[in-house]
Chain A
Amino acid sequence: MEQLLSVLIGVLVAASVYLMMGRNLLRFLFGLILLSNAANLTIFVAGRLTPGAPALVPEGLDAPVGDVANALPQALVLTAIVIGFGLFAFALILAVRAYRSLGTLNTDDMRVAEPKDQV
């Protein structure tokens, strides 16, 4: 399954890069979501996959018995998902706000900081 997921992550990365290279800010945001999904999966896969054995310590014991899932990448991914969401939410509202001010979602035309006549 690690190999299958590696391929899947490659596809996710390719799709997100393709979207982020677009001129429309919404496409860019979709690409951002896919990229953070790809990153989360990468961390998860890098810690190896263990089916059907969550990282739990059985009652009355000091440590889990046998092969259980790698808990560390899971903890990292949990944090990453939440932060990725925060980033997306902020970027989305920034796009809304930018559209309200500039009247466009085309990034080629969003040039308040670097106006065309100065470059």
Chain B
Amino acid sequence: MNESPSPRWITPAGLLPVVVAGALFFYFVQMVPAIADGQTLRHVIEWVPSLGVNISFLIDGLSLTFALLITGIGALVMLYSARYLAGHVHQARFSLFLTSFMLAMLGVVLSDNLLGLFVFWELTTITSYLLIGFSHATQKSRRSALQALLVTGVGGLALLAAIVLIGNAAGTFELSEIRAMPGVLTQSVAYLPILLLVLLGTFTKSAQIPFHFWLPNAMAAPTPVSAYLHSATMVKAGVYLMARMHPSLSGTDVWLWTLTIAGAITMVFASVMALRQTDLKLALAYTTLMALGALTLLLGNDSAYTITAAATFLIVHSLYKAALFLVVGILDHQTGTRDANKLFGLASAMPVTATAAAIAALSMAGFPPFLGFIGKELKYAGALAVASEPILVAGAFLIASALMVAIAGIVSFRPFWSRSGDPIPNVKEAPWPMLVGPIVLAVLGALFGIFPDLLAASLVNPTVEAILGPAQEAKPLQLWAGVNLPLALSVATFVLGFTLYFYKIQLRNMLIRLVDSSPSFDRGWDKLLAAVLAGAKWQTRVIQTGVLRRYMFITFGTALAAMAGTLIIKDVVMPVLGVPDVTIADWLVFLLVLLGTGLTAITNSRIAAIAGLGVVGIGIAMIFILYSAPDVAITQLLVETLIVVLFAAAALRLPGMGSEPLRSRPLDALLAIGLGVSTTAVLLMVTSGPIDLELTTFFQTASWPQAFGQNIVNVILVDFRALDTFGEIAVVMVAAIAIYALLKSKPEKDQT
């Protein structure tokens, strides 16, 4: 994509995120000496004190390491993006998403309150969704984004459940307080559910098998996003949480074996899958999976070797992997392809990129004197110290590391130095803002390799202390640890790695045949989604039939069950019916209304029905008159008249009613009688009980002195409850406007 010479990239949308991330990075850097001294910083803002929910932040070695990675790599990636996406229509949107993600991710690693952590955790899921789906016009992006959202979202819900259980078991949501109570979770009855739910959350987030499939798909996102979220930061949130909960949850067989098995399988599977890919970005995505598996495996143990290895490898991986992703992004940006079969010999065209790629790849492959070598030595030392199966674990690391050597060669040696194919002509070196990130990250990998104590004292040791507690010393980081078993394993790694690189084409073709013929999680995901949709359709078909009668039946049936059921369960004694105070006038009105109701209910004639309704209305108005409610009676008469007039006007445009099919009517009648009888029963009970007249008394005594009105009903309406009356007028107005609109609108021709 050799685009127009130099699009404007110095824009507020491009550079503001760099400034924010950079400032935060330096803010965290100046905390390093204090934290390295063994201090922790805590800051609490009360949020919902009654529920024990605080926004509290805690900075210790582990948090600070993550915070520095997030802000440091963030600043570099944002500078890179400013140029990578320069001139893109939605660049501002992209910057907003990326910055929001960075802040959410910082929230995850700094939160001391589990509920706060959960909120930030979900925010990273949402921002990740938005970023993967950034190229929303392509179907693939949308699918990948939704898949990532659903998989990590399910994990998020599991995590929430785990947090509630933890809160119950420990009595607090503050992580620092939970850590201060050793055994409070491991010895709790809810330990197993807590552990499994936490791991479901972390495994989905950190893409452990069998939840790994969303991560390679997430590569649909623009490359800076892949480098930042799906390699250096977000996918490590799961690893972070496992490290964070390590003091409270580890030390059991379930913890050890679940993490060991999931980590080892993910690691080996991912490194083999990486070799299968021809898309360089996908190859890197699988190596990220491999790294996440390795970290999970290491965190399963609690020896100082494995934890030191985990802390070191975490940093090593973030540095070289982000650098390599950015390099692949540069290749894509400058040549228009990421296909390993098309990119050769570009070193002379892009010398700076090639150098950065070479340094990062040497670190990835684990050559001395780069930090990757120390990381690999520590991994072997850690593997030999595991509590599970040292030989198998070391073997898994050997296979994975050898494959890393091969893939480092494929990703960053072949495109630049190989003469196996012709270089793409007219390729130019990337502009400087895109080069800064890879160079800085790659050089840091070399620098820390040569001066490992720098990293050990500032970040690794405090991180190990945060996980294992001050009692355990971190193992030293050193380039030359003498001739020992890890060194021998390193040599074996290089030999195996070079062999694999040499046979890469044959191996890849074999893998392609093997992988494509075996079942895939990704296709299984489609089947799962289809099954969920089919289930939803079935449920809709059952519940939402589209038949009004059925909805009404369910509504009335529920009302009947609630009323009659309560009457029966509560074993209510019916008051005795007596008619001592009923006058002739009462009886006459009663019969009048009864007659009108009966007529309306059974007639098939519209005129008869409306006449029956009129009789009912007038009868009820007479009840109001008999029992001292003249205002209500007037309103009732007025409304009844209006109803008749309205109906007469409407009936001119409507057909007759016809008769109902008789088949279903007996059941309807039964339901109707049931509801009628229940209503009568409830009313008889209500009227035979005592009545509270407090409000009535208030209105009687306040009407004149406070509102200067003698008609109490009127005073209530226009004075004490004027707002209700105002609402009533509003309802009538809305109805009138809606009616006007309905009458004005033209009928659609296509619906019959």
The interface of chain A, by Cβ under 8 A from chain B, is 1-24, 26-28, 30, 33-34, 37-38, 40-42, 44-59, 61-64, 68-72, 74-75, 77-79, 81-90, 92-97, 99-103, 105, 107-108, 110-116, 119
Contact = CB atoms under 8 A, between A and B. Distances in A.
Q: Determine the main DSSP class of B at the interface with A.
A: helix
Contacts of A110: 548
A101 B626 CA distance: 45
Contact of A75 (B544, B704, B717, B745): B717
B695 to A, nearest CB: 5
A23 to B, nearest CB: 6
B623 A5 contact: yes
Given A11-B594, A15-B600, A101-B748, 10 more contacts: A3-B578, A13-B676, A17-B668, A28-B548, A71-B713, A83-B731, A99-B653, A99-B654, A108-B548, A108-B549
A56 B714 CA distance: 10
A56 B546 contact: no
A53 B594 CA distance: 26
Given A15-B598, A72-B716, A85 B639 contact: yes
A37 B650 contact: no
B751 A101 contact: yes
Q: Most chain-A Cβ atoms within 10 A of its Cβ — which of B627, B696, B703, B717?
A: B627
A26 B546 contact: no
A68 B74 CA distance: 77
A38 B594 CA distance: 12
Contacts of B556: 17, 20-21
A100 B675 CA distance: 34
B548 A10 contact: no
B735 A86 contact: yes
A4 to B, nearest CB: 6
Contacts, number: 293
B329 interface: no
A83 B728 contact: yes
Contacts of A48: 687, 691
Q: Most chain-A Cβ atoms within 10 A of its Cβ — which of B540, B653, B687?
A: B687
Q: Determine the main DSSP class of A at the interface with B.
A: helix
A100 B747 contact: yes
B597 interface: yes
A18 B601 contact: yes
A84 B613 CA distance: 14
A9 B735 CA distance: 27
Contacts of B594: 8, 11
A-B pairs, 6 with minimum CB distance: A14-B676, A114-B546, A10-B680, A69-B628, A6-B683, A18-B672
A20 B552 contact: yes
Q: Most chain-B Cβ atoms within 10 A of its Cβ — which of A18, A79, A96, A103?
A: A18
A57 B704 contact: yes
Given A61-B704, A87-B735, A3 B687 contact: yes
Q: Most chain-B Cβ atoms within 10 A of its Cβ — which of A7, A55, A92, A111?
A: A55
A13 B544 CA distance: 26
B700 interface: yes
27 contacts: A1-B627, A3-B579, A10-B679, A17-B675, A18-B668, A21-B553, A34-B600, A40-B636, A44-B624, A47-B691, A51-B626, A51-B627, A51-B628, A54-B629, A56-B710, A69-B628, A72-B699, A74-B629, A74-B632, A75-B717, A77-B629, A83-B728, A85-B732, A88-B643, A90-B738, A92-B646, A92-B650
A119 B613 contact: no
Given A6-B683, A17-B671, A97 B743 contact: yes
